Structure 1
Amino acid sequence: MRSLCFLLLLGLAPAFAAEESPPPPREIDGPIMARVIKVRDGDTVEVEAYIWPLQAVTVAVRLRGVDAPELKGQCEAERATAREARDRLKALIGDGPVHLRRVSGDKYFGRVLADLATETEPDLGQRLLREGLVDAYDGGRRRNWCATVGSLPHTPPAKG
């Protein structure tokens, strides 16, 4: 009798497997509209993302592809450059909403990785990169800002 039950269950296994849900996506294309709550530094903002009508999620968003100097950096040059990057990101965001695209998980819990855009700027991270306020970043080793902050290809921020 046990063998018969086992064979019956074994025969039903493919039917149960077919009913399983697909895994959740590893990346969401977007755009997802959001309101910036706080600009933490030159490459991370805290947003209230509107994921469904009348429903929002508060989450930290790391800008994809860039690395900003740290506000609590190891030298004054890094800290000064970090403040400049943060302030420029605040100015670029202004008062309007932002849009998250290509949203995926980040290596740190509670944060996502995304492209961030405004109505007038399609990619804020790339804008900061062009202005020399951040460095290109692919998830590997970060640059030593104290050793290289004077060698940044820095140009004054463009207005608007």
Structure 2
Amino acid sequence: MPVLLLIVMAVWWFGFRPLSDDAEWQTVNDSFALCGARGSSQPGCVVDGDTLILGFGSAQRRIRLTGFDAPELNGACPAESRRAIEARDALHQWLGEGPFEWDGGDAPPRDQYGRELRAVRRTMADGSRDYLADTMIDRGLAGGTGWGSNEPDWCE
């Protein structure tokens, strides 16, 4: 009996779980301006290196991109603020490269500030996936947020 249970669990884990995980990813075709840009009529804008706003008025949604932590625009020092502008601009550029996907389906989890929490990726022409968090961390524009990650000191 325990062996049968292990087999059923393994079939679910390796067979059905990936399908259900992919079902939670949604394609996003929206364009994003930099928040505060004059004359922009884009449905979304980039607030900083890890936050977006999508929509207008009462339908506005704040989205915190997960898997990385970008420096703050109102940072602890001028160096952090400069890095934050670089991270914001890099995020804006990455989003502008075409459609991407984010997780969470129609009811994503939210943080303590009410922001939607979403991981972001792009499926490349060869079928590989470019995860935004990896790109930002690899370029030195963000720190990791997972277990064992060290928060960068942007003021060093």
TM-score by length of 1: 0.58
Query: CA contact under 8 A between 1:59 and 1:111: conserved in structure 2?
Result: yes
Aligned-residue offset at 1:66: 0.7
| Matched residue, 2:115 | 111
- 1:44 has 2:48 as partner: no
Query: CA contact under 8 A between 2:71 and 2:154: conserved in structure 1?
Result: no
Unmatched tracts of structure 2, length 5 or more:
1-20, 33-43
Aligned length, in residue pairs: 114
Which structure dedicates a bigger proportion of its chain to strand?
A: 1
Would the alpha carbon gap of residues 131 and 97 (structure 1) be closer, same or farther in structure 2, given more than 3 Å must change?
same
Would the alpha carbon gap of residues 40 and 29 (structure 1) be closer, same or farther in structure 2, given more than 3 Å must change?
farther
- 1:122 has 2:130 as partner: yes
| Matched residue, 1:97 | 99
Query: 1:64-95 CA distances to partner (integer Å, 9 max, x unpaired)?
Result: 11100000112100000000111111111116
Query: 1:31-89 CA distances to partner (integer Å, 9 max, x unpaired)?
Result: 223324111111112235xxxxxxxx642221211100000112100000000111111
Q: Runs in 1 of length 4+ with deviation above 4 angstroms?
A: none
Would the alpha carbon gap of residues 41 and 29 (structure 1) be closer, same or farther in structure 2, given more than 3 Å must change?
farther
| Percentage identity across paired residues of the two chains | 28
SS at match of 1:122: strand
How far apart are the structure 2 equivalents of 1:144 and 1:134? 8
| Matched residue, 1:6 | none
Q: Please provide the CA RMSD for this pair.
A: 3.1
Would the alpha carbon gap of residues 142 and 47 (structure 1) be closer, same or farther in structure 2, given more than 3 Å must change?
farther
Aligned-residue offset at 1:97: 3.1
| Matched residue, 1:74 | 76
Would the alpha carbon gap of residues 146 and 132 (structure 1) be closer, same or farther in structure 2, given more than 3 Å must change?
closer
TM-score by length of 2: 0.59
Unmatched tracts of structure 1, length 5 or more:
1-26, 49-56, 151-160
Aligned-residue offset at 1:115: 1.1
Rg larger for: 1
